Amino acid sequence: MDSPDEQVEQGMPERIDAVRSRIHAAADRAGRDPDTVNLIAVSKTKPPDAVREASECGLRIFGENKVQEAMAKIPESPGHLSWHLIGHLQRNKAAAAVQLFDMIHSVDSLRLLETLNRLCDEAGKTMPIFLEVNVAGEGSKYGFKPDELPTLLPDLPGYTRLECRGLMAIPPYTPEPEQARAYFRRLREWRDRWQDDTGIPLSELSMGMSGDFEVAIEEGADWVRVGTAIFGERTKR
Ligand SMILES: *Cc1c(COP(=O)(O)O)cnc(C)c1O
């Protein structure tokens, strides 16, 4: 017997439709054009078949957090997709990352900036990047400390092979999306202030995941990184 509260298992097309309507609704609430919100389908731990199915529903941008996994998955996936790195990058994997990815959301140290700029120069590539900010000052999280960025930003034009799009953050996990709002707002306010103070453009914000992307959009997210709400739960690894 089915219990009355048992959920009917949704397929991927239904889940993607639901994510898209939630993006539209959140953009409407914020008075924003929904087309300015870019959806990254976070396919980490999911097989190439899942990527293919999502791509058949019209998704084009996929996010991975591990170079090794992306290296195996990308050649097995449809060829017309764009791949974004969203996880911490070790410098010994940076050369591979430069080859594999079209954008890196998780640049979290000065040394990584330097390494990526050099490798992109050698590869004759320009890489769009985001600077990851440790928005809650958590010891367990990667990212620049907020107080080191205003002094670093004026040096960015020297990294001629990197095109800084803006700031990225992963707020502390909470079961209640409203509790993430203050962190998203803080990232936007820092962005506005640093941009004014340094004259360095930081036009885009990469923030919001399955649990909180609507709040992130209301607070100005240009890129949301959504895994579970598209692909279903991940098995622990
Ligand atoms: C896994 C991951 C996501 C997606 O998380 P979901 O909660 O499954 O949507 C987004 N951003 C980063 C950096 C991630 O590692």
Give the pLDDT of residue 22: 98
Give the pLDDT of residue 52: 98
Query: Which ligand 1 atom sits nearest the alpha carbon of residue 229?
Result: 9
Closest residue CA from atom 4 of ligand 1: 227
Q: What's the CA-to-centroid distance between 113 and ligand 1, angstroms?
A: 22
Q: Taken in order 205, 169, 72, 49, is the CA torsion positive or negative? A: negative
Q: What's the CA-to-centroid distance between 77 and ligand 1, angstroms?
A: 20
Query: Which ligand 1 atom sits nearest the alpha carbon of residue 209?
Result: 9
What lies within 8 Å, CB to CB, of 109 at 6+ separation is 144
Which parts of the chain sit beneath pLDDT 70? 1-8, 236-237
Site residues for ligand 1, CB cut-off 6 Å: 42, 44, 65, 86-87, 170, 209-211, 225-229
Closest residue CA from atom 6 of ligand 1: 227
Give the pLDDT of residue 9: 74
Closest residue CA from atom 13 of ligand 1: 86
Using DSSP's 3-state secondary structure scheme, residue 58 falls into coil
Give the pLDDT of residue 8: 66
Q: What's the CA-to-centroid distance between 17 and ligand 1, angstroms?
A: 19
Query: Which ligand 1 atom sits nearest the alpha carbon of residue 234?
Result: 8
Give the pLDDT of residue 1: 45
Query: Which ligand 1 atom sits nearest the alpha carbon of residue 44?
Result: 1
pTM for the predicted model, two decimal places: 0.95
Task: Note whether 47 and 26 are within 8 A (CB).
Answer: no
Task: Note whether 41 and 226 are within 8 A (CB).
Answer: yes
For residues 98, 103, 54 and 22, what is the CA-based torsion angle, rounded to 10 degrees? Answer: 160
Q: What's the CA-to-centroid distance between 112 and ligand 1, angstroms?
A: 21
Backbone angles phi, psi at 164, to 5 degrees: -75, 120
Give the pLDDT of residue 236: 64
Pocket test for ligand 1, best of 209, 214, 217, 224 (most atoms within 8 A of CB): 209
